[in-house]
Chains A and B, each alone.
Chain A
């Protein structure tokens, strides 16, 4: 299943946030969206996932989602968005409650999602009892439970410490390895972008327009190699040079606002 951003523009009142953004996320592909603060990355993701109506242009999907997919476009949120009154297992089960599954089937799906995210031992815990990394794992387990075709990840690691980020990044790479699931990965962290994405969409400062689409010439499995490190750093540096000047201007704009 492909996800298409078709000439999407958006404004909040008089504030123009996105301007004519078009690109396609192909089946199984991971596309990162980067850009200076306030360029409309999260707004674009909300539009792509149907949580915000664009002012013009539209988000479309083409092709058939996997037959067992219960929510083809599934979000993983920056702030985890877990129900604090539900246990880990109940949070993962939450989106399945209206999927027409029997209790037995739901339990099997929940157990599978918890096993894939190494949370089986914490199924009865409440979110307040978990660390930030574990909470995000619950968010990922909940997303996996509905078998998405494309994950929409809005800075999923930005609220976490660096060690947890590293561990979860490894989890993401492992989950996306077989190409059965694509992703749109919004981040301001260029290192994350070059590690996880097949292509990187670089947005300009507000109103966000596509400045460049950068393809990563290495497969994700090759990127762990020590020899690939230099190439990735060079890419990161290239991306930073694309963003830096505009990031400085955006920062200045925020300070003067």
Chain B
């Protein structure tokens, strides 16, 4: 027979020792950003910046107030100059990014899936990845002439390496048990790549896209500063040379908005493609 305790356990009746509550000691670190805190902080910083400009605390030549920057953007937009510069940069980034990404994805998959490609590819990538790609621009100008090609090639090179690394890291991170499972059912190689390796590597590939988009933005500005008539980089450099700091910062704001838009696009892609996580 089981000895059963009463359904409702009574508290210990030893009143001589005082009961003390157990102190909450934490539930692990779990920082969470508030929904509006980022926006509030941004508005506060811009407000303070505006106040500093309006009150004459800072020289507007060195730090023009946000309203002056907004006005400069408006004037640039109205004159059509903004479109000329932005479109030139977008074409260069787009072409360079697509070329670099296509090559990076192909080489990354080859390294991730083939022993031969891995042996050769990793050596070359390790040797060439650390080189600042902008340093190759003069050489590329020598090879490809003065025009769009060397700028696009510089961006493509920068994008290629970070993409290739993120792709083969992603392929390496695909759980081997999933590949073995597919092999155990006799699934053909191409289908394993398409249905197992590609979706398994996609989180890392998309993370790589985020990095390569930043690299492309960085390189387009650098390349345009070295040799271009149009483009945000050329515009920022020209404004700096003429001490037009409101125009200079207008260019910087446009670059920031462009980066933000690319980030949002990748967020959207992640939400669509990685909903299963």
Contact = CB atoms under 8 A, between A and B. Distances in A.
Interface of chain B, main secondary structure: helix
A86 B277 CA distance: 11
A185 B276 CA distance: 32
A84 interface: yes
B180 A94 contact: no
A71 B177 contact: no
B188 A98 contact: yes
Interface of A: 49-51, 71, 73-75, 77, 79, 81, 83-86, 94-95, 97-98, 126, 128, 146
A101 to B, nearest CB: 13
- Main DSSP-derived SS at the A contact region: loop
Contacts, number: 49
A81 B181 contact: yes
B271 interface: no
Contacts of A95: 185-187
A77 B184 CA distance: 10
23 contacts: A71-B184, A71-B185, A74-B184, A74-B185, A75-B184, A77-B181, A81-B181, A83-B178, A83-B195, A84-B277, A85-B199, A85-B276, A86-B276, A94-B182, A94-B187, A94-B195, A95-B185, A95-B187, A97-B187, A97-B195, A98-B191, A126-B276, A128-B276
Interface string B5-19: 000000000000000
Contacts of B184: 49-51, 71, 73-75
Contact of A75 (B181, B191, B199, B200): B181
Contacts of B54: none
B226 interface: no
Nearest to B180: A51
B177 A97 contact: no
Interface in B14-54: none
Interface in B72-100: none
Given A81-B177, A94-B195, A97-B191, A51 B185 contact: no
Contacts of A81: 175, 177-178, 180-181
B183 interface: yes
A94 B185 contact: yes
A98 B186 contact: yes
Contacts of A97: 187, 191, 195
Looking at A50, A83, A97, which has the most chain B CB atoms within 10 Å of its CB?
A83
Nearest to A78: B177
B21 to A, nearest CB: 33
Contacts of B183: 51
Contacts of B185: 71, 74, 94-95, 146
Contact of A77 (B177, B186, B188): B177
Contacts of A73: 184
B140 interface: no
B22 to A, nearest CB: 28
Contacts of A79: 177
Nearest to B177: A81
